[in-house]
Each structure stands twice: as structure tokens, then as C-alpha cells.
């Protein structure tokens, strides 16, 4: 969902998270991943503008852009 929201390819995400494209493909196919890989992905997505949500509607959304920053 985060990758789709950002319109990033598997290769783009892999490069941003410093993992292989095969790792991304396996995770997207519901294969388990270690916690350090998941944290690297989360950091990459947050840097790219994704906000992870909790509560009644867990998921992801694009972070609101602060127009004052450009």
C-alpha cells in the first residue's frame, strides 16, 4: 500500500531501504521478514512521505505537505 501510494517501483523501494528487489517481492508475497528489514522499509517510506496510522483505521497515508517548506 505504501509503495503504491508513492508510485515507487520494487527497485526504487529496495534502493531506498538498502535491500534487494527480491526481498521486497518476497515481503509483498507475504513471506516473513526480519525486524531490521521491516524497520529499514518503514524508514524509507517515512522519508519518502508516508505516515503510518494506528487506531480505528490502521494503515498508511501520504503525509500532508507543508507548503511553507516547499
Instruction: Assess if residue 69 is contained within a domain.
Output: no
- The predicted pLDDT at position 50 comes to 87
Look up the CATH number of the domain holding residue 52: 1.10.260.40
Residue span of the structural domain in which 6 resides: 2-62
- State the total domains in the chain: 1
- The predicted pLDDT at position 40 comes to 96
Give the DSSP H or E segment for 50.
strand 50-53
- The predicted pLDDT at position 57 comes to 65
Q: Give percent of the chain above pLDDT 70.
A: 81
37 and 19 Cβ atoms separated by less than 8 Å: yes
With vertex at residue 28, the alpha carbon angle to CA 24 and CA 30, rounded to the nearest 5 degrees, is: 120
Instruction: Assess if residue 16 is contained within a domain.
Output: yes
Rounded-to-integer distance, Cα 17 and Cα 21, Å: 10
Instruction: Assess if residue 37 is contained within a domain.
Output: yes
Entry pTM: 0.77
- The predicted pLDDT at position 33 comes to 94
Residue 24 predicted with pLDDT over 90: yes
Amino acid at each position: 500500500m505504501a509503495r503504491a501510494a508513492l508510485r515507487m517501483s520494487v527497485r526504487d523501494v529496495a534502493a531506498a531501504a538498502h535491500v534487494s528487489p527480491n526481498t521486497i517481492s518476497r515481503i509483498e508475497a507475504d513471506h516473513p521478514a526480519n525486524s531490521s528489514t521491516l524497520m529499514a522499509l518503514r524508514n524509507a517510506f517515512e522519508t519518502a512521505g508516508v505516515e503510518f496510522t494506528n487506531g480505528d483505521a490502521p494503515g498508511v497515508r501520504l503525509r500532508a505537505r507543508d507548503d511553507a517548506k516547499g
